[in-house]
Structure 1
Amino acid sequence: MSSTSSTTTTGTGTADGTRLTLEIWHPDCWGLQATEAVDAGLLVHTAHRTVDGTVKGHFTAYADTAGRLDEFVAFIDESPLTHSTVELGQGTGGTASDPGNVTRELFVEYEPEHSISETLVSHGFIHEASVRVEGGVEHWPVFVADGRAEVRDRLEAIRAETDATITISKIASPAGDPSGVPDRLDRLTPRQREAFELACERDYYAWPREVSTRELAEELGVSKTTLLEHLRKAEAKLLNPDDA
């Protein structure tokens, strides 16, 4: 397990450094297995080595419902790849800055070989903001003090060492978005993001609208009521003025 978004941006990596968002899968990771098995996600805040050589990390687990979150936390706790799971609080309603409707703070202890964090650091990738884990993929916002050619070489070395699958979903120069400021889409659950992005692609928010809610719901394979609920919650999180 490790210590944000799929839209590609443009920018110029220079000798002064490059900002990237990496999408990563690697073997034997309890977080990847948990988010692939249960429709929920993790935000990874901090992780540190203990005196016993294990890793303890602080996470926010999130899901659409309390029942789904219970299932998710139970999967993590029962995983053979974790030593212990300590809950800081029971499930609560998410705020506008939370990625899910229900969240829970966790401390999880595990072995360092089940993380790719130290390998990234050893190859010069500096972790810039919370890592998001959803659908069996880790989304790493990182900075590396090299241009694009050197970044490619470093990523190839990591792939070879860890048998990881790594793709770049965002790339920008150091003058791009400030570090530590999350993409607003990271506030959304996978279902909310899927509904919102599809609505944008189909010009649902254009005037006049190019697609109906019924058509969007059919394309997503959900009811019209469910689609509208996803869009309503996505819009509330994206438009919250307190975080503008």
Structure 2
Amino acid sequence: MATLDEQGSKSARLTLEIWHPDCWTLEVTEDAETGLIAHTVSNGTDGRVKGHFTAYGESTAAVESLVDATRRSPLTSSVSEMQRRYEFEHHGLTSGYTTKELFVEYDPSNTISDGLLSQGFIQDAPVRVRNGLEYWSVFVEQADRDELHDRLDVIREEYDADISVTKIYSHETRTQDVPRRVDALSERQREIYELACEQGYYTWPRECTTRELADAAGIAKTTLLEHLRKAEAKLLNPKPVDSPRSL
């Protein structure tokens, strides 16, 4: 887990792990082996938020169950399935999963996006939702660590939210494009890569073996190595990654 004490007075990119009440995306993914990618939203003239989401999972049945739960949720107004669009596959976020594109309408009072924006946290990538948690990649202008703590505390109090900072990239690191390359990983590649980092797989000496990492991920060793090889190839590729659309 990153801490704001690692960040001085400079622009930064943060990854925030967020839970807040009365959020349909968190409720429908909490006990499911599925997830959501939030691409774009807009405020309608009827006062509702209208958003484009990708539902993904290991099987068609799992995704259908997620879609049904979204339709049944008292926190959504309407749910429509959309035709798959190439540009949302291009970034590889859900590569290897069964997916459905959804257009969902819901009450804006049950989202935290306005709260983040009001405190200067600008969304910098699609929002990932899994296991009842949202993962926001945000950019923030000049601010010292105490001010960032205070800004996050304002959002926590206003929305009764749990917010943790899981990653911090300084402006200098951002210019090297490493964070952008992480965004190019598929959801599964990202999960495995981040697990490897957390378990000390890339430290010297290594703190876990490939077998131990595969057991922690709940997959075969050969599958784990395939995910890691593909993730490492993307991270080491110097070709710039296109900027994803913002929510």
Residues 172, 27 of structure 1: alpha-carbon distance in 2 compared, 3 angstrom cutoff? same
Residues 193, 228 of structure 1: alpha-carbon distance in 2 compared, 3 angstrom cutoff? farther
Gaps in structure 1 of 5+ consecutive residues: 1-5
Alignment-derived partner of residue 142 in structure 1:
138
The 5 A counterparts of 1:45-194 are 45-89=39-83, 97-101=92-96, 102-145=98-141, 146-177=143-174, 181=180, 183-184=182-183, 187-189=186-188, 193-194=191-192
Per-residue deviation, 1:182? 5.4
Contact 1:199 1:216 in 2 (8 A): no
Q: Distance in 1 between matches of 2:74 and 2:180?
A: 34
Pairing partner for 1:197 from 181, 195, 198: 195
Q: Distance in 2 between matches of 1:8 and 1:60?
A: 30
Secondary structure of 1:189's partner? helix
Residues 123, 199 of structure 1: alpha-carbon distance in 2 compared, 3 angstrom cutoff? closer
Deviations 1:37-71 (A, max 9, x none): 21111111111110010100111221122221111
> What root-mean-square deviation, in Å, do the aligned CA atoms of Structure 1 and Structure 2 show?
3.6
Contact 1:185 1:238 in 2 (8 A): no
Q: Distance in 2 between matches of 1:114 and 1:122?
A: 15
Per-residue deviation, 1:121? 1.1
Amino acid at match of 2:64: D
Q: May I ask how many residue pairs the two structures share in their alignment? A: 231
Residues 107, 159 of structure 1: alpha-carbon distance in 2 compared, 3 angstrom cutoff? same
Contact 1:28 1:114 in 2 (8 A): yes
Q: Distance in 2 between matches of 1:162 and 1:9?
A: 21
Per-residue deviation, 1:216? 5.2
Q: State, as a whole percentage, how many aligned pairs show the same letter.
A: 37
Residues 166, 212 of structure 1: alpha-carbon distance in 2 compared, 3 angstrom cutoff? closer
Deviates more, 1:150-159 or 1:60-69: 60-69
Gaps in structure 2 of 5+ consecutive residues: 242-247
Contact 1:195 1:220 in 2 (8 A): no
Alignment-derived partner of residue 3 in structure 1:
none
Amino acid at match of 1:78: R
Q: TM-score when scaled to structure 1?
A: 0.77
Alignment-derived partner of residue 40 in structure 1:
34
Amino acid at match of 2:186: R
Residues 243, 121 of structure 1: alpha-carbon distance in 2 compared, 3 angstrom cutoff? closer
Q: Distance in 1 between matches of 2:187 and 2:240?
A: 14
Deviations 1:6-36 (A, max 9, x none): 678996442x533211110000111011111
Q: Distance in 2 between matches of 1:66 and 1:188?
A: 17
Residues 195, 236 of structure 1: alpha-carbon distance in 2 compared, 3 angstrom cutoff? closer
Q: TM-score when scaled to structure 2?
A: 0.76
